[in-house]
Amino acid sequence: MTKPESRKSGVAAMSSTSKCATSAPATAQVNDGAVEPGCPDHSAHIKANVMKQTSRESMNWRNCGVDCEVYDDGTNTFFWRAHTVTVLFILTCALVYVTLLEETPQDTAYNTKRGIVASILVFLCFGVTQAKDGPFTRPHPAYWRFWLCVSVVYELFLIFILFQTVHDGRQFMKYIDPKLGVPLPERDYGGNCLMYDPGNTTDPFHNIWDKIDGFVPAHFLGWYIKTLVIRDWWMCMIISVMFEFLEYSLEHQLPNFSECWWDHWIMDVLVCNGLGIYCGMKTLGWLSMKPYQWQGLWNIPTYKGKIKRIAFQFTPYSWVKFEWKPASNLRRWLAVLGIIFMFLLAELNTFYLKFVLWMPPEHYLVLLRLVFFVNVGGVAMREIYDFMDDPKFHRKLGQQAWLVAAITVTEFLIVVKYDPNTIMLPIPFFITQCWFLGILLIFTWTLWRFFFRDITLRYKETRRRKQESPSDRDRSLGNGNPSTPSGRSKLNGSSETVRQRKS
Amino acid sequence: MTKPESRKSGVAAMSSTSKCATSAPATAQVNDGAVEPGCPDHSAHIKANVMKQTSRESMNWRNCGVDCEVYDDGTNTFFWRAHTVTVLFILTCALVYVTLLEETPQDTAYNTKRGIVASILVFLCFGVTQAKDGPFTRPHPAYWRFWLCVSVVYELFLIFILFQTVHDGRQFMKYIDPKLGVPLPERDYGGNCLMYDPGNTTDPFHNIWDKIDGFVPAHFLGWYIKTLVIRDWWMCMIISVMFEFLEYSLEHQLPNFSECWWDHWIMDVLVCNGLGIYCGMKTLGWLSMKPYQWQGLWNIPTYKGKIKRIAFQFTPYSWVKFEWKPASNLRRWLAVLGIIFMFLLAELNTFYLKFVLWMPPEHYLVLLRLVFFVNVGGVAMREIYDFMDDPKFHRKLGQQAWLVAAITVTEFLIVVKYDPNTIMLPIPFFITQCWFLGILLIFTWTLWRFFFRDITLRYKETRRRKQESPSDRDRSLGNGNPSTPSGRSKLNGSSETVRQRKS
């Protein structure tokens, strides 16, 4: 028990105090040596060595996960400070100026708006300097603290909207942009699906050209980023295909889900998403191979090196390869199913939310929401991954993951509350059958994989044992734990394996 | 450089992972041994010993500051978990119930209020489970996270009020309590100050009995808590006396500051405050001597022991004695002056804020604000103390201290904005003279203590050196650093001493 915990704590110290580099590696290294319970004298010897070679160089290398190492020379400049007191001072000056030296307008509505905006800004000031750091530190921890605070503000805004009547909620959007709060025009999504349209003599391929618009690079970019977030080829492909199935299933509710078959499968899944996922996987490969060496800008002699260092500031501090291993045990399998479910729900919310809140698709708020999700999604996914991998008793779901889950649920509740009629439109019988079949398949596989297969394997193991001679059996009893069949631990990747991966 | 930093990181790991006790002490102890740079072999030997006696018992003792030790058997029950997922699940269920199953009222004003309250509750849900932990862990870290979130909400409320016009701001209080938003009645604070009033034949001491009301125990309790917060007899006495001076100086602005001389000095300073400070100091003495031993409730055999353990849950986890040492260097001197200034400002805000926002003194919001300050003040003061003592380059002012400072400033700005006339009432000439004299004295003392005395000492040291024989001088050069005069480091308590105190 001591071993993985202490190692874990070393890793935790490393990631949390990554700004304070000179002290952390010493702790981590000493931990790694100290908690080897089998050989105390040997580990003491190791530590004595560690202490003798306390050169900066050797202490700055850290082991940061499965197969990566980070070198950090521990440069901590002005740039990295939290500037808590400075921010407080500037905030005070700004407040003095705005509230005492400027004259307050007599317009109550304007003042209310201004008061709310000021409250949000003060909250951001507090959060950006003081909120809890997440797993990411590049380009700057304050960047991720900022997005965390934005998540909080967005979630509170959603809660407020959720508690209004449908009419008030839609009209409330007028406070943000006076152009909002008007019903969306009906759009015609009809037309034929011929790739080669003989009826149109001037350009028979016009259907294809029509589809190649701004959404093609958007789809590509979106899936490139989603791949960086999920970091797994299979999960990306499943979500990409599943979403097209959802579009098929829900086109009776949202007309803009109805597309031509080749738009679904060729344009979306193969070309846009596929290319995005491919480029994402290439980038992931580069990120997992890239050396993680951080030197202070002033310690780099050449200008080229300095520029490269500045550019690398926008790459991760270290790299964790995600290995979701959905089939390793029931908990992970259910967790991966849950992640896919939430991911698809968040994607659907994009379309349903703008539909129920009367947001035109080209409105900047729709784009801002996507930019927001790009920034928080990566943190949330990493936190969920850490949560699943964490053998600690006290593991906490990360703050950003918690918020993203709450936001997704709240958005969905808004959709249900604001337009129950659309949501409740009966699903065509054929589609219901398909979904029922799919869910049944998953359920059956789950049952077989995590319940029946184990029983079968255990039964086979018992029979094999019985056939062995009693002397053999005694030997196998002496070697390992006889109650766990070797087949199971090998196939499932037991929790022991998961723990060892962390060290 | 390695030594204090690593020790510090050990202490930090200890305080931050106090919930995860089994791993933290091992880290801390190994650190303590590992970073002794002078004698690597000896420390390796120590570590080997530590590892050989890896009994739970020996690892659970931690060194937690100057002169205290904490014993923790590392029991981590259900009670200590953060329950992030559980809270998220309950929150989701509550939102589904309230927004989908209950019918939404058609009253916009009511819904707005409900939406804001719901947003605040969701924020508290998030904050209580996910906010950054502060220095305190008893009775439960969630308790202090709760007050942190309340500070955020209160600060945002103040900012909102600050941005309204005076009329709107006062009327806004009606949303909280419909009875508010009406001008306060004028009160008569006149009368004579005779302790023995011969004019009143039935009870010549009536003036004294009149003063003994609910505010006597309130003053006593307030100063008892303030002593626990400040943890220093001298600072408490100075603040207590200074506040009476402030009451004298400002009685032309707020009539309820005008009291009889014996009410100021005998009733307030001597009886109420003095007794509060005395009891506070006794409690501080007990807390600093008390053994800090934490055992899991189920590990205690007797019922009496269990009840004692439950009661002790409401005492601190460990104890840090505050040694403000204002005269040790200029930075600390200015910091202590700043703390006293902010403390007095927060005290004055209590009276001015209710005056400008038309709050009757007996209103529950006034009491709530005091309860709030009692809870956040202790955390903030501890964070300020840690900030002043922290030798790290990256030291951050604690989140609660940041917020308390922001709240005090915002409250003061509201007072200035809402009633500039009262604030700007000219101070009587005699009082101005007194304050000018006081400030001049402090300024002169500062100049002498931190600038001229050093020069004098250095001059004396140089002259003494010159008078010594050259051989003596060589010896003294070999012994220590000759550029630092011994007199200074002895008197000022150099930063080295401060660092050693932390270990």
Chain segment A30-45, per-residue pLDDT in tens: 333 333 333 333 434 4
pTM: 0.80
Q: Which residues, numbered 120 to 149 in chain A, qualify as contacts with chain B under a Cβ-Cβ cut-off of 8 Å?
A: 122-123, 126, 129-132
Average pLDDT over residues A250-266: 84
Q: What is the pLDDT of residue B74?
A: 66
| Percent over 90 (pLDDT), chain A | 43
A44 touches chain B (CB under 8 A): yes
The pLDDT value recorded for residue A152 is 97
For the record, the structure tokens of A7 come out as 């190692």
Average pLDDT score over residue span A486-501: 39
A29 has a pLDDT exceeding 60: no
Give the angle B93-B98-B100 at the CA atoms, nearest 5°: 90
- Residue A119 is nearest to which of B23, B122, B160, comparing CB atoms? B160
With H, G, I as helix, E, B as strand and everything else as coil, classify residue B62. Answer: strand
pLDDT digits (tens, 9 = 90+) for A405-427: 999 999 999 999 999 988 888 88
Instruction: Return the sign of the alpha-carbon dihedral for residues B32, B38, B39, B44.
Output: positive
Contact A399 B80 (CB under 8 A): no
SS3 content of chain B, % helix, strand, coil (to 5): 70, 0, 30
Give me the mean pLDDT over the A284-313 stretch. 83
Which positions in chain A touch B105 (Cβ < 8 Å)?
165
Which residue has 């505010």 as its token pair? B215
**Using the beta-carbon criterion (under 8 Å), do B76 and A130 form an inter-chain contact?**
no
Is the CB of residue A162 less than 8 Å away from at least one CB of chain B?
yes
Does A14 score more than 50 pLDDT? Answer: no
What's the rounded Cα separation, in Å, for the pair B379 and B229? Answer: 8
B164–A115: do the CB atoms touch at under 8 Å? yes
* A321-334 residue pLDDT tens: 888 888 888 889 99
Cβ partners under 8 Å of residue B395, min gap 6 = B387
CA distance B271 to A221: 72
Q: Is the peptide bond before A360 cis (omega within 30 degrees of 0)?
A: no
Place of tokens 């003060």: A122
DSSP for residue B452: I
Pick A493 or A407 by higher pLDDT. A407
Chosen for mutation from B402, B410, B411, B423 (greatest number of chain A CBs closer than 10 Å) is B402
So what's the pLDDT on residue A158? Answer: 96
Report d(CA B353, CA B411) in Å as an integer: 7
Chain A residues touching residue B101 (CB < 8 angstroms): none
Confidence at residue A2, expressed as pLDDT on a 0 to 100 scale: 33
CB contact under 8 A, B20 and A402: no
Backbone φ/ψ region at A129: left (φ over 0), alpha (ψ -120 to 50), beta = alpha
Q: Confirm if B25 and B62 have CB atoms less than 8 A apart.
A: yes
Distance (Å) from the C-alpha of residue A55 to the closest C-alpha of chain B?
11
Cα distance from A216 to chain B (closest Cα, Å)? 35
Q: Do A159 and B396 touch (CB under 8 A)?
A: no
Q: Within 10 A of B170 (CB to CB), how many other CB atoms are there?
A: 20
Query: How far does B343 lie from chain A, in Å, by closest CA?
Result: 17
- Cβ contact B396–A84 (<8 Å): yes
**pLDDT of the residue at A96:** 94
Dist. CA A224–CA A214, nearest whole Å: 16
Q: Do B76 and A115 touch (CB under 8 A)?
A: no
CB nearest A132 (choices: B106, B132, B165): B132
Contact criterion met (CB < 8 Å) for B160 and A37: no
Contacts with B10 from chain A: Cβ below 8 Å: 27
User: For position B113, what pLDDT does the model report?
Assistant: 94
A161 interaction partners in chain B (CB closer than 8 Å): 115
Residue showing tokens 């109420």: B272
pLDDT band for position A79 (cuts 50, 70, 90): low
Instruction: Give the minimum alpha-carbon distance from A197 to chain B in angstroms, rounded to a whole number.
Output: 47
Beta bridge partners of B361: none
**Between these two residues, B7 and A230, which has the higher pLDDT value?**
A230
Is-contact B192 B207, C-beta < 8 A? yes
* Spatial distance between the Cα atoms of A140 and A163, rounded to a whole number of angstroms: 36
What DSSP assignment string belongs to A380-441?
HHHHHHHHHH---TT----HHHHHHHHHHHHHHHHHHHH-HHHHTSPPPHHHHHHHHHHHHH
Contacts of A171 in chain B (CB under 8 A): none
**B161 reaches A (C-beta below 8 A):** yes
pLDDT score of B495: 40
Q: How confident is the model at residue A48 (pLDDT cuts 50, 70, 90)?
A: very low
CA gap A161, A169 in Å, rounded: 6
With cut-offs at 50, 70 and 90, classify the pLDDT of residue A392: confident
Q: Do B163 and A22 touch (CB under 8 A)?
A: no
Q: What average pLDDT score do residues A387-416 get?
A: 89
Disruptive mutation site among A18, A29, A43, A84 for chain B (greatest number of B CBs within 10 Å):
A84
Cβ–Cβ < 8 Å for B254, B355: yes
Which chain A residue has the Cα nearest residue B9? A23
pLDDT at position A77 is 61
CB within 8 Å: B26 and A40: no
- What confidence score (pLDDT) does residue A43 get? 39
B106 contacts chain A (CB < 8 A): yes
* pLDDT score for A51: 39
Tokens 């009160």 -> residue: B187
Nearest to B159 among A27, A119, A396 (CB): A119
With contact defined as beta carbons under 8 Å apart, do B107 and A167 qualify? Answer: no
Q: How far is B99 from chain A (nearest CA, A)?
A: 7
Contact B372, B186 (CB under 8 A): no
Residue A38: both structure tokens together: 């089998």
B 287-316 → A contacts, CB under 8 A: none
CA–CA distance, A395 with A411 (Å, rounded to integer): 27
Tell me which chain B residues have a C-beta less than 8 angstroms from the C-beta of A40.
48, 51-52
Radius of gyration of chain A (CA): 28
> Which region among A179-193, A278-292, A317-331 has the lowest average model confidence (pLDDT)?
A179-193
Chain B 62-81, residues with CB within 8 Å of chain A CB atoms: 76, 80-81
Of A122, A76, A79, which Cα lies nearest the Cα of A99?
A122
- The Cβ of residue B369 has, within 10 Å, a number of other Cβ atoms equal to 19
Bond from prior residue into A426 cis (ω within 30 degrees of 0): no
Residue of A nearest to B398 (CA): A130
CB atoms inside a 10 Å sphere around CB A427: 15
Q: Are A389 and A329 in contact (CB under 8 A)?
A: no
CA–CA separation, B301 and A451 (whole Å)? 42
Below-70 pLDDT ranges, chain B:
1-69, 74-80, 187-191, 393-394, 469-503
Which of B16, B163, B406 minimises the CB distance to A114? B163
The share of chain B scoring above pLDDT 70, in percent, equals 76
Q: How far apart are CA A490 and CA B80, in angstroms?
A: 35
Query: What 8-state DSSP symbol labels residue A105?
Result: P
Q: What are phi and psi of A71, to 5 degrees?
A: -110, 130
Q: Who has greater pLDDT, B500 or A95?
A: A95
Whether residue A436 is predicted with pLDDT greater than 60 in this model: the reply is: yes
Question: Closest Cα partner for A115 from B172, B249, B205, B34?
Answer: B172
pLDDT at residue B62, rounded to an integer: 52
Smallest Cα distance from B8 to chain A, Å: 9
* Subunit contact B156:A2, Cβ cutoff 8 A: no
| DSSP 8-class letter at A44 | H
C-beta atoms of A159 and B122 within 8 A: yes
